[in-house]
Amino acid sequence: MLKDSFGALPRAFLEGQRIRNGIQDVLKLFMIRTFCVTLLIFATAIVTDSFPLQNKQSAVVALIGVGFPTLFIPIWAKPGLLPRRSMVRSILHFVIPATLTLTFVSLFVYLFYLVVAVLDLPPGSGLAEVNHAVPRSALVTILIMGQLLLMPFLKPPTPAWVGGEPLSGDRRYSMVAIALFGLYLLVLAISPVRQFFELYPLGIVNYLFIGLIALEWCLVLRFMWRSRFLDRFLGVDLS
């Protein structure tokens, strides 16, 4: 363009599309994480006076669930034709169902383990003596699992993951999600690191239970995207 050559315009146009697509994907993950945690804070405040996450726990959720993935998304973003929906509609179509369902599932996991902790109290104990380490650790686990499972939905590698976005065929995003989940397992396995992030070891049965819930959440979320259930329920068109 500095040389008054129109030959640079096609490359500049494609680069602009690539930047736009990368920003849009990053925004989706950040908005889901922000809105989900915000809704969790308000929801837990209704039933308990404890804060759902400690600062270090929130940090590990942000790093593994959003921070590290967004390092790769802008680099791997590809140019493409303008989508059939506007940027705002595209973001809302992906973000709203994912946020609401992930918030509901995370709240269920947190309250489930909180109730178990209350039932384990000795007779005559007050609610102030409840150990919140287990419910908070379970909440961290379901949030990280949920956010990492959004990566294949963001760029579906196979038709099975098509729901909020069209088929991409790019498996790199899914591989990053698997690698980051391995990183979280490493954090749980190394005692000093686990203690630094104030995480409590839940045991293999509990981790499998939370993983099963996360997989069921995936199926529900995919159904909501494919059936446009939320669009019809709210009476809006996000497609």
Predicted pLDDT of residue 4: 66
Give the integer Cα–Cα distance in Å for 146 and 148: 6
Give the integer Cα–Cα distance in Å for 30 and 5: 38
Give the integer Cα–Cα distance in Å for 115 and 100: 22
Give the integer Cα–Cα distance in Å for 187 and 190: 6
Predicted pLDDT of residue 13: 64
Predicted pLDDT of residue 104: 94
Predicted pLDDT of residue 237: 58
Find out whether 98 and 150 touch, Cβ atoms under 8 Å: yes
Predicted pLDDT of residue 239: 56
Give the integer Cα–Cα distance in Å for 58 and 53: 6
- Concatenated DSSP letters of 213-238: HHHHHHHHHHHHHHHTHHHHHHT---
| Domain architecture of the chain: domains with CATH | 11-234 (1.20.1110.10)
Predicted pLDDT of residue 190: 93
Give the integer Cα–Cα distance in Å for 5 and 162: 41
Predicted pLDDT of residue 9: 66
Length of the chain: 239
Predicted pLDDT of residue 209: 95
Per-residue pLDDT 10s for the chain (239 aa) are 556 666 666 676 677 777 778 888 888 999 999 999 999 988 888 877 778 888 899 999 999 999 898 888 888 877 765 555 567 778 888 999 999 999 999 999 999 998 888 777 676 665 566 778 899 999 999 999 999 999 999 889 999 999 888 888 889 999 999 999 999 999 999 999 999 999 999 989 999 999 999 999 999 999 989 888 776 666 555 55
